[in-house]
Amino acid sequence: MHDFAYRYGFTEKAFNFQQSNLGKGGKEGDRVLMSVQDASGVNNANFATPPDGQSGQCRMFIWTLTNPRRDGTMENDIVIHEMTHGITNRMTGGGTGRCLQTTESGGMGEGWSDAMADWMAQSSGTTKDFIVGQYVANRAKGIRSFPYSTSATTNPLRYSSLQKLTEVHDIGEVWANMLHQVYAALVAARGFSSNKLTDAGAKEGNVVFMRVMMDALAIQPCNPTFIQARDAIIQADQNRFNGVNKCIIAKAFASRGLGLKATAKFVDDATLPAGC
């Protein structure tokens, strides 16, 4: 996770977790501390993100839904989800670890973490539905409400779903599913790179997706709304790719109600930017 995320911009200057920053900026002495089979809980995991210069701490729990019990550390989705909390909490708002504190931004924090696990699991140009936590829960539907899917039948979550959601993981499902649409659209348009973990300069859609998702973290405001986070992704595409993916990205968000004229009232909107 460190090495892959570094290539996509989570560097010393971007407030990453390293024991030594090798003279490359940022604050050091903050390697991630990992506790496996941690006794402080069950059926979950967590990641505490203090400011740059203090270690992040990940605690992975045993899951008790099966007999014998299962170890969350054995499921890549869960590990990636937790580590991504460290990335999003550090990159948003300049390394303070305090800029995903509102319910809406904290919900997106859960969403980015699921979206990262989704991105890791995709292995070809055919974007598959993604289900979190199938192993730990030992059930086909995993631990979320719906698979992440481009099918509105399989996953009906839309921007307007937020009117009724108050729990951060539930809110995160709406955001992760929007990101799944963006991902699938970029892969459909620009293809898939099998070297995604090592070649962040590749031109394929899955790499472009991770580029704009990571870049956006650093330019969005502290405690962003869905609208601000969407705008940051579109701006990130402008900054890095001269906006060549603007319409692809905007259409994907609009397909789930986060169109150009969506407001903070969580009413679906399908408006596209001019020229799209």
Binding residues for Zn(2+): 81, 85, 110
Closest CA to 61 of 84, 30, 34, 38: 38
Answer for the pair 109, 172: CB distance below 8 angstroms, yes or no.
yes
Smallest gap from residue 60 Cβ to Zn ion (A): 12
Closest CA to 44 of 129, 132, 171, 127: 132
DSSP letter for each residue of 174-228: HHHHHHHHHHHHHHHHH---TTTTT-TT--SHHHHHHHHHHHHHHHSPSS--HHH
Segment holding 76, helix H or strand E: helix 76-91
CA separation for the pair 166, 174 (Å, rounded):
12
∠ Cα 114 149 228 (to 5°)? 55
Nearer to Zn ion, 30 or 110 (CB): 110
Which positions from 93 through 132 interact with Zn ion, judged by CB under 5 A?
Answer: 110, 113
Smallest gap from residue 111 Cβ to Zn ion (A): 9
Nearer to Zn ion, 38 or 110 (CB): 110
Active-site positions read 82
Smallest gap from residue 194 Cβ to Zn ion (A): 28
How many helices (H) and strands (E) the chain has is answered by 8, 5
Mark residues 51-90: x for contact with Zn ion by CB under 5 A, - for none. ----------------------------------------
Cβ-proximal residues to 67 (8 Å cutoff; 6+ apart), any chain = none
Smallest gap from residue 12 Cβ to Zn ion (A): 25
Count of residues that interact with Zn ion, criterion CB under 5 A: 2
Which residues contribute to the annotated binding site? Answer: 81, 85, 110
In whole angstroms, how large is the CA radius of gyration of the chain?
Answer: 18
Nearer to Zn ion, 110 or 173 (CB): 110
Nearer to Zn ion, 113 or 127 (CB): 113
* Residue ranges in contact with Zn ion by CB under 5 A: 110, 113
